[in-house]
Amino acid sequence: MSIGTKFILRVLGSLLVFCCLAVWLLFFSPWPGGLRTTYKAGDYDPRLTREAKTANIAISALDRFHRDHVAYPADTAALAPYLASLRSTSNAPEIAGWHYTRKPDGSGYTLARKLGWDPCLLYEVDGAQARWVFAPGDGSPDKAVLLKP
């Protein structure tokens, strides 16, 4: 085989390896920063359920606080006595990695967790109603999902 033929075969082989790597990165590897905005969230989604489980500490503390005070706390500092298992008692809006936002009238709240650059998982409580929501973050509509964390 001539040197020119070997060179061409080597270039073609390298190109094939590069193309295979590019396809794997685009379609099979985890998206940098987490979930893609095109993630097809559905009911009882195992990945979203795993994420939702991490909110159980916060949800439980918020429920106990509401039982004792008939409203949800204005900020996370008020939850310190209800979060004995967590070391942080700061006034940061985070509870166990979930961003807490209370409704203005104290009748509900939202817990939010980023799942990537844009996507977010939300737990919304409004009065006696609670639901999980997947927000793609790309301008497309949010999707309510059933999860059992």
Q: What are 71-117's pLDDT values in tens digits?
A: 999 988 888 888 876 555 455 678 888 999 999 988 999 999 998 88
Q: Are residues 51 and 100 in the same domain?
A: yes
Chain length of the chain: 149
- Judged against a pLDDT cut of 70, whether residue 20 lies above it is answered with no
Q: Are residues 17 and 44 in the same domain?
A: no
CA–CA dist 65, 130 (Å, integer): 16
Q: Are residues 14 and 58 in the same domain?
A: no
Q: Are residues 71 and 92 in the same domain?
A: yes
Q: Are residues 131 and 61 in the same domain?
A: yes
Closest alpha carbon to 82 in 108, 61, 104, 66: 61
Mean per-residue pLDDT, 35-41: 81
Backbone φ, ψ for residue 10 (5° rounding): -65, -40
Q: Are residues 56 and 125 in the same domain?
A: yes
- Judged against a pLDDT cut of 50, whether residue 31 lies above it is answered with no
With contact defined as beta carbons under 8 Å apart, do 76 and 100 qualify?
A: yes
- Judged against a pLDDT cut of 80, whether residue 64 lies above it is answered with yes
- Judged against a pLDDT cut of 70, whether residue 146 lies above it is answered with yes
Q: Find the radius of gyration of the CA atoms of the chain.
A: 23
- Judged against a pLDDT cut of 80, whether residue 28 lies above it is answered with no
With contact defined as beta carbons under 8 Å apart, do 18 and 111 qualify?
A: no
Q: Are residues 83 and 121 in the same domain?
A: yes
Q: Give the per-residue pLDDT at 6.
A: 72
Q: Give the per-residue pLDDT at 23.
A: 53
- Per cent of the chain over pLDDT 70 is 79
CA–CA dist 128, 114 (Å, integer): 25
DSSP-based three-state secondary structure for 12: helix
Structurally, the chain folds into a number of domains equal to 2
Provide the domain limits for residue 13: 1-30
Q: Are residues 66 and 23 in the same domain?
A: no
First to last CA, the chain: 63
